[in-house]
Copies of this chain bind each other. A is one copy, B any other.
Amino acid sequence: MVQHILTASQFKDRELLGEIFSRANYFQEIHLLPKNDQVRKDARKKIRETLDDQSVGIFFYEPSTRTGSSFQRAVHNLGGEVIKSENAGQFSSAIKGESIEDSIKTMEKYAEIIILRHPEIGSASRAAAVSQVPIINAGDGAGEHPTQALLDLYTIQREIGTFDNLKIALVGDLLNGRTIHSLTQLLEVAQNTELFLVAPDPLQLPEKYRKMLQAKNIKFRETDSLAEVLPHADVVYMTRIQKERFGTDTALYEQVKNSFILGPEEVNKMQKDAILMHPLPRVNEISPEVDKLPQARYFDQVENGVYIRMSLLEHLAQAATT
């Protein structure tokens, strides 16, 4: 049976997650060796055999320079070729009326793995239902973005040393943020987590996810005050209030868009060894002066994403040949 990566909840198994993180960590350590180091060269050469003679389709109906480039780099590092269609929705067969199912049944003839971004919730599952090659969900509208959740949790483990026994503040548009939704599900794998759900009231976490947290006995508290939780959190996970998720309700967007803004003064209220994360891009919710503070780890997240995606691609490629 073909394996896919559709939801963060697939990685609730600590053993599987441990393997994914362990390989990501290996790839990262090798990369960090000096460029002329023979160990690095030999290891990278071996790693490049993983997708040797294979092409990976990056099939994005919604543009994303960041996620698309991260996957491209991961594929390059594994020795594969990329077939990219960055505006699949706007420019291609879709405009001629083709269904996503037909598009997938076409792309699967060109690529051994398909990485899909699509504006509709559930699109990745629809794709997986017909695909003969692995699908990676790289974002399905306000649905999920599992590889982001995995790189987030990997960053927490890498920077703090563990993802257990932590107080984590999720901040921003918890209603629409798919990054938040995926991470919330994935946190089930962690032990003894305490969540602060920090959002303006109309943008709080959907009931579906709150019920899930209750069912899993994950403690959480809802608040609209970031100041109140800053000194207590081990991890502050900021998100952008995304204008494009509000549709025509610009009044609500204007009301909430500046709800949370972190400058150096606020960040200095965090614990010294706490970390500040953000899936990026940011607008004004974290000021650039914060970047040099020790808590800031959002650009490390970007870097970690390449290695997590390498690990996931390797996982799928190995499953496909056995």
Contact = CB atoms under 8 A, between A and B. Distances in A.
B65 A283 contact: no
B55 A44 contact: no
List the number of copies, as a whole number: 3
A139 to B, nearest CB: 13
A210 interface: no
B106 A66 contact: yes
Interface stretch (A14-22, A192-200, A263-271, A299-307): A299-307
Given A55-B72, A97-B283, A91 B106 contact: no
Given A55-B72, A66-B92, A288-B101, A109 B306 contact: yes
Interface stretch (A82-90, A181-189, A212-220): A82-90
A141 to B, nearest CB: 16
Given A63-B92, A92-B64, A321-B36, A106 B299 contact: yes
A93 interface: yes
Dominant secondary structure at the A interface: helix
Given A44-B53, A76-B55, A91-B65, A110 B70 contact: yes
Given A76-B55, A91-B63, A280-B102, A69 B302 contact: no
Given A106-B280, A299-B106, A83 B69 contact: yes
Interface residues of A, number: 60
A19 B123 CA distance: 42
A211 interface: no
Contacts of A134: none
Given A55-B73, A65-B92, A73-B83, 20 more contacts: A48-B53, A53-B77, A55-B76, A57-B69, A65-B103, A68-B85, A72-B81, A72-B83, A72-B110, A96-B242, A96-B283, A98-B280, A98-B281, A98-B283, A102-B280, A105-B302, A106-B280, A106-B299, A109-B305, A109-B306
25 contacts: A36-B321, A44-B53, A63-B92, A65-B88, A66-B92, A66-B106, A69-B106, A72-B83, A73-B111, A86-B91, A87-B91, A96-B240, A96-B283, A97-B283, A98-B281, A98-B282, A98-B283, A99-B288, A103-B281, A106-B280, A106-B281, A106-B302, A109-B299, A109-B303, A109-B306
Interface of A: 35-36, 41, 44-45, 48, 53, 55, 57, 63-66, 68-70, 72-73, 76-77, 81, 83, 85-88, 91-93, 96-99, 101-103, 105-107, 109-111, 240, 242-244, 280-284, 288, 291, 299, 302-303, 305-306, 320-321
